[in-house]
Amino acid sequence: MIKISADLFDPWHEVLVYQNSAKHWAGKFGATNVFVGTMRDFNDGDSVTGMILEHYPGMTEKQLEGIVKQAARDWHLLDALVVHRVGEIKPNEPIVLVAVWASHRGDAFDAGRQIMEALKNIAPFWKKERLQNGGERWVEHNTDGYLRSSTNDMSAFSD
């Protein structure tokens, strides 16, 4: 299922409600992969206080449906749920949810990744950031989802 939401949503609640309503694959799924994208309060070295997410109504749904159908051709899936916010968004609020259900984890992991990367590359959404200094700017491109972050904040887990 594809949902475009102008309102704040709780991704964990969405997953639970969707899973509980899906009677035809109850008992069949052994793997659920959930990705949640959340708005940061920083980008490109600047403090960001909010953003506006514009989209192309109709094309967005069409592209997302195509992305999910392609994933279902490439992997053995039971179901998928994609929820994406539009409109005014504040830091700490979820932007996107991609959840996939499969019998086995390999399909769930890889299909979830494929759907998310395709969404980033072709789903027609655009972010305009509001900066702490009062300015506004359009985000010009998405970063490569396969790049490693240069910082590691989980130092407590390092030797």
Partner 1 sequence: MIMSVKVRYFASLKDSIGRSEDLVDVNGIVTVAEIWAMANANRLMPDNILAAINMEYVDIEHSVQNGDEVAFFPPVTGG
**Residue 42 binds to partner 1 (criterion: CB under 8 A):** no
Report the C-alpha gap between 56 and 12 in whole angstroms. Answer: 26
**Residue 140 binds to partner 1 (criterion: CB under 8 A):** yes
Token look-up 């010009």 returns: 140
* Helix or strand run (H / E) with residue 4: strand 2-5
Among 1, 25, 55, 109, binds partner 1 (CB under 8 A): 55
- How many residues in the chain? 159
Q: Candidates 5-13, 14-22, 136-144, 150-158 — which segment interacts with partner 1 by CB under 8 A?
A: 136-144
Report the C-alpha gap between 29 and 112 in whole angstroms. Answer: 15
Report the C-alpha gap between 128 and 78 in whole angstroms. Answer: 35
Q: Candidates 26-34, 52-60, 68-76, 102-110 — which segment interacts with partner 1 by CB under 8 A?
A: 52-60
Among 23, 27, 45, 58, binds partner 1 (CB under 8 A): 58
- β-bridge partners, 100: 33, 80
What is the CB-side half-sphere exposure of residue 137 using CA atoms within 13 A?
13
**Residue 80 binds to partner 1 (criterion: CB under 8 A):** no
**Residue 141 binds to partner 1 (criterion: CB under 8 A):** yes
Amino acid symbol at 4: I
The minimum distance between CB 110 and partner 1, in angstroms, equals 18
The minimum distance between CB 119 and partner 1, in angstroms, equals 5
| Residues forming the site for partner 1 (CB under 8 A) | 37, 53-56, 58-59, 62-63, 84, 95-96, 116, 119-128, 138-142
